[in-house]
Amino acid sequence: MSRKERGHRSLTPAPSQPALAWIRGRLRARAGQSLVETALVIPVLALLTFGLLDFGRAYYFQVAVTNAAREGSRTGILNVYTGPQSLSCSSSNSYATCPIQSDPAIVNAVTAELANTSITPSSVTICPPHDSTLLNTWYPGTGWTSTTRCPNTDDRVSLWLDGTANYYINVNVRYSFQLYTPLLQNLLGNPVPMSVSVQMRTNY
């Protein structure tokens, strides 16, 4: 290194103590600012993450319950008697020659569709019900009501006996959706009651 270079380097003043203290203070201020920004951003990111999780679960539940209600409604519209005897709907032979599907069979179709999910319906409503004896009754062992939410007192056997054809069967499935996000729980309540209705026309 030449004398000129050594002389030039020696002319560079070293930072004074006040300058060093100012630099350290600025660095500490920036570190504190970063901590504050992180503390503000983390709750927002957590809300978005859990909110998206709840939204995805809600969409999955709705699709699964819709499929179950559709399967129940499809089961209800089918002609279930194809035997050699003449069609008749009477409780005297336990509706053995009646083309009308039973309500328990419709409920079983709904539960079978939901068997591989974690969804337990709170109620399944079938309108109109199978016959007049099922008005406002409960299915044994399930606690699911048949007709408490139906708009009228029609039943499928009476409609068939009256010659009414191609009427609609509505299957409504209600369930409770459990939220994971605390803020959404406070805003919407927890669990959130949800329901799906599917309506199909009979083919008998």
Q: Has residue 4 been placed in a domain?
A: no
Check: CB of residue 173 under 8 Å from CB of residue 71: no
Q: Has residue 25 been placed in a domain?
A: no
Q: Has residue 115 been placed in a domain?
A: yes
Q: How far apart are CA 130 and CA 135, in angstroms?
A: 9
CB atoms within 10 A of CB 160: 20
Q: Domain total for the chain?
A: 1
Q: Has residue 17 been placed in a domain?
A: no
| The two three-digit tokens of residue 48, written as one number | 């978005």
Q: How far apart are CA 157 and CA 163, in angstroms?
A: 10
Write down the pTM of the prediction.
0.72
Q: Has residue 138 been placed in a domain?
A: yes
Check: CB of residue 117 under 8 Å from CB of residue 64: yes
What is the structure's pLDDT at 141?
42
Q: By residue range, what is the domain housing residue 129?
A: 33-157+167-201
Q: Examine residue 191 and say whether the peptide bond preceding it is cis (omega within 30 degrees of 0).
A: yes
Q: pLDDT tens, position by position, for the chain (204 residues)?
A: 555 555 555 555 555 566 555 565 555 556 566 666 677 777 777 777 777 888 888 999 999 999 999 999 999 998 887 777 788 888 887 888 888 888 889 989 999 999 988 888 888 888 888 887 766 554 444 445 555 567 778 889 899 888 888 889 999 898 999 888 877 788 888 888 898 999 999 877
Give pairs for 45-53: CB < 8 Å, separation 24+: 47/181, 47/183, 50/180, 50/181, 50/184, 51/181, 51/184, 53/180, 53/181
What is the structure's pLDDT at 33?
62
